[in-house]
Structure 1
Amino acid sequence: MSQPPSAARRAWGWARLLLAVVVSACALAGVVRLTVPATAGTSGEPPGVRRQLAFLRAALDTGAGDEAQALFPEGYFFLHALYGLSWVELGMREPADGRSRALREARWALSRLDSPAGRAPFSPGLTPPYGVFYRGWSNWLRGGVLSLEPAGRRDPAEVRRFAEDSAALGAAFDASASPYLAAYPGQAWPVDSTVAVASLRLHDAILPARFGGTVERWLREVGRRLDPRTGLLPHRADPGGGAPAEVARGSSQSMIQRFLVDVDPAFAAEQYARFRELYVVTPLGLGPVVREYPEGVDGPADVDSGPLPLGVSLSATVVTLGAAQAHSDAPLASALAGYGELAGLPVDTPWTKRYAFGLLPIGDAFLAWAKTARPWVARPPSAPAATVSWWWRTPLLILLTALAAAPWLPALRRRLRPAARG
């Protein structure tokens, strides 16, 4: 027996009402996420990061590292490294006697990098062994762990390992005709060498200095091998002589700009200004976001960039948040964080926080690391001239408000129509 038409109409009316409430609630939640501060600068603790790390640790304990490895060659390594580095960043914000958890978690992550699984993608036959990517990121995390403890309380074995690994990196740079060491056989990416050189600066900040000459030579050689189109470090370089092999790209520049400030603040400021000019955009009036290729250049997407709608790289946009913080560019950092709170579809509980419903923990790891960014060696630089105005949210707020109101407009028109006839 079919349902009476009046009952069907009532059911349809309730369904439409429920849909309207859901759409409006989601839009208004977007307004809140877009306007509530999502960063805390370089001194305070960014909101939600500890809950992100709680989610990440649970994910790592249930195989997220292996899943990330299936997505790209450094997935296992990066997920553990970023988890450990984020804990170092939080530990640096705490008093010296309150860093036990940060040290424990960072050391746990470092032990995973030192494992066969952590070294598996890399070649022991490179110089230094396992290549500059593995050595540079591991050395940076190891130095971060040492930075959390007063000099008199550091583990001598940890100090010795950091000094030895730094020496191996320094010797490799000194012996190389190129400032860009290989990460894999026959392949060199300047971003990897930038991380490694920053770790040498970190060594000289916490142990007796020995790599000043190495770093100065590296800077001179880099200055001779900039990407001619952009004036920035190239995305990929010839492994022999270091000549640029690919135009500078957002996915690597966003990391370079974060680390370069600890290598040479003056050079970093010039590079950051150029990067921001060429890559930070507001397509369709929405943003800011970060292009993978400079304006006027289009190129293919890959595992580093992810999909490129309108030329925009989500991964570069997330990591640029950290670069902006490292350069004291609070307006851009705040805007990128706010945009991420809207577009990242975060799911909050009292204990955890995850983005994109937690489907890609590596994205959560990059975002947690970006939100906690600040220089480790250099003093925080002076704020650059702002390029993001206070009203950047306005187009998005208008769009969200219209979306919240749209489901109720037909009912409003029906109510107003009899009054208009009268």
Structure 2
Amino acid sequence: MRRVLRVSIILFALLLTALTGVQFVRSHSAGPLDRTDAEVVADALPRLAFLREALDSGSADRMQQLFPEGYFFSYALYGLTWVEVGARDTAPRERALAEARWALAHLDSDAGRAGFSASLDPPYGVFYQGWATWLRGGVAALAGPGAPELPRLRADAGALAAAFERKLSGSGSPFLTAYPGQAWPCDSVVGLAAVHRADGLTGADHGPLVRSWLAAADSRRDPGTGLLPHTVDAGSGQPTDLARATSQVIILRFLAELDPARGAADWTVFRQRFASTVPGIPGVREYPVGTDRAGDVDSGPLVLGLSTSASAVALGDAVLYRDAPAAAALTGLAEAAGLPVQWQGRRRYLGGALPVGDAFLAWSLATRPGVVTAEGDGPSWTWRLPWYALVLAVLPPWWIVAAILARPRPKLSERRVAPTTASH
């Protein structure tokens, strides 16, 4: 029994050391801003291979059971990641274009439109039209002049622009509805960004609309943070909730298309107000520091007040606004906490249990840097100090026990026997 115990303790110490060492190395993973285009693409391909396999096996339908846009995001993010890959490297461009078009076709299907109302303005709502048009613009940009997507892109962007103009001239609100009677500013930012991207590809000019929209949106910011709110009244566009990370990370991603300087300034505020206060976890809080609430259908479950989905998308924002410290910290956190496994050319996180989470992360890691660098400093390397302390607290005791048990015991014949004293 002693031998079995000794071997078990030594094996456990070896396993614990190996796992800790792997996680330690992963926490130091280079962020996208510290990699070349070729390195970013090489990192993205195994992720996309897993996502395509998951989609082919029905993961989009499974994700739809978890949240209302699970099906849509599963295909949209897959296509958008391929757009980023194709724009970074000409070698896989034809494949990138084919895969992005395949994803777009799924958004154009009845299944892609399911859950969205055709009675909204624009039809199926700003969430559906905004993301679909953004992906269509990415595909058209990747295909180049004469892309077959251009006529549809011009029509869809025009319909979006007309809906924004009707809303602004009517109630004065810049925010369109995504579902009947419900409006999230982040969806409208995506929609208007899609219009702006389409302008550069089709020759249309909605500059006056963009300026009017930005002014109207600025007048409806969350007074507590100065950022755009999470939800608004569907009619007036006035805030009905404070700024929250789940929507703010999307807003920041697409605000860079409309006004890069304004987006960079908001990123700096967001990074300060929503930074994690949990030692060793440089993620993103769902609510500003000082406000604590439970998670909901928008945020999903929160861990110590942190949002895993918002943290994954914030990584892409950090890349977009050239915030190298934040990008590196969020990359290290994802690699250490996500327990990634790469096998047969496919890379998955948490055993592949939540493919849409892998899709958000893949999209963020493939993000191309923007034109503006945000001010201020991101997280310091010292965020890892609690990890170092944990290693020092956990590993040495096990190795001390293993060393004690590993010491050879003297054979019975070699043991000294204390002499006895005879009595007289």
Alignment TM-score, normalising by the size of structure 1? 0.91
Q: CA RMSD in A?
A: 1.9
Contact 1:225 1:233 in 2 (8 A): yes
Contact 1:42 1:373 in 2 (8 A): no
* Equivalent-residue separation in structure 1 for 2:109 and 2:304 (angstroms): 40
Question: Is 1:326 matched up with 2:320?
Answer: yes
Contact 2:178 2:184 in 1 (8 A): yes
Question: Is 1:399 matched up with 2:390?
Answer: yes
Match of 1:23 among 16, 20, 28: 16
Aligned to 2:253: 258
Per the TM alignment, residue 241 of structure 1 is displaced from its structure 2 partner at its CA by 0.7
Question: Is 1:182 matched up with 2:173?
Answer: no
Aligned to 2:235: 240
Per the TM alignment, residue 43 of structure 1 is displaced from its structure 2 partner at its CA by 5.7
- Segments of structure 1 that go 5 or more residues without pairing to the other structure are 1-7, 417-422
Aligned to 1:220: 215
Aligned pairs for 1:4-83 (under 5 A) are: 8-40=1-33, 44=37, 45-46=39-40, 48-83=43-78
Name the SS of the counterpart of 1:348 in structure 2.
Answer: strand
Deviations 1:1-51 (A, max 9, x none): xxxxxxx22222222222221111110111111123252458624253210
Aligned pairs for 1:294-305 (under 5 A) are: 294-305=288-299
Name the SS of the counterpart of 2:382 in structure 1.
Answer: coil
Aligned to 2:124: 130
State the structure with more CA Rg. 2
Deviations 1:238-268 (A, max 9, x none): 0001000111111111111111111111211
* Equivalent-residue separation in structure 2 for 1:405 and 1:31 (angstroms): 16
Match of 1:351 among 331, 339, 345: 345
* Equivalent-residue separation in structure 1 for 2:318 and 2:84 (angstroms): 16
Alignment TM-score, normalising by the size of structure 2? 0.91
Match of 1:389 among 374, 380, 383: 380
Deviations 1:184-203 (A, max 9, x none): 00000000001111111111
**Matched residue type, 2:385:** T
Per the TM alignment, residue 383 of structure 1 is displaced from its structure 2 partner at its CA by 4.4
Name the SS of the counterpart of 1:77 in structure 2.
Answer: helix
Which range is displaced more, 252-261 or 303-312? Answer: 303-312
Per the TM alignment, residue 406 of structure 1 is displaced from its structure 2 partner at its CA by 3.5
Q: How many residue pairs get matched?
A: 402
Relative to structure 1, is the Cα distance of residues 38 and 325 closer, same or farther in structure 2, using a 3 angstrom cutoff? closer
Match of 2:363 among 369, 379, 391: 369
Match of 1:164 among 150, 155, 158: 155
Contact 2:33 2:322 in 1 (8 A): no
Aligned to 2:422: none
Deviations 1:360-395 (A, max 9, x none): 1011000001111236xxx52124221322333232
**Matched residue type, 2:281:** G
Match of 1:313 among 299, 307, 329: 307
Contact 1:327 1:384 in 2 (8 A): no
Deviations 1:56-86 (A, max 9, x none): 1000001001000111111000000000000
Match of 1:276 among 271, 274, 279: 271
Q: Percent identity?
A: 48
Per the TM alignment, residue 299 of structure 1 is displaced from its structure 2 partner at its CA by 1.6
Per the TM alignment, residue 269 of structure 1 is displaced from its structure 2 partner at its CA by 1.9
Aligned to 1:229: 224
- Segments of structure 2 that go 5 or more residues without pairing to the other structure are 408-424
Match of 1:204 among 191, 199, 203: 199
Which range is displaced more, 190-199 or 308-317? Answer: 308-317
Per the TM alignment, residue 412 of structure 1 is displaced from its structure 2 partner at its CA by 4.5
Aligned to 1:140: 134
* Equivalent-residue separation in structure 2 for 1:268 and 1:38 (angstroms): 21
Contact 1:25 1:404 in 2 (8 A): no
Match of 2:164 among 165, 170, 173: 173
* Equivalent-residue separation in structure 1 for 2:192 and 2:35 (angstroms): 22
Per the TM alignment, residue 98 of structure 1 is displaced from its structure 2 partner at its CA by 4.7
Question: Is 1:408 matched up with 2:388?
Answer: no
Per the TM alignment, residue 111 of structure 1 is displaced from its structure 2 partner at its CA by 0.1
Relative to structure 1, is the Cα distance of residues 25 and 175 closer, same or farther in structure 2, using a 3 angstrom cutoff? same
Match of 2:112 among 115, 118, 139: 118
* Equivalent-residue separation in structure 2 for 1:288 and 1:13 (angstroms): 39
* Equivalent-residue separation in structure 1 for 2:82 and 2:191 (angstroms): 20
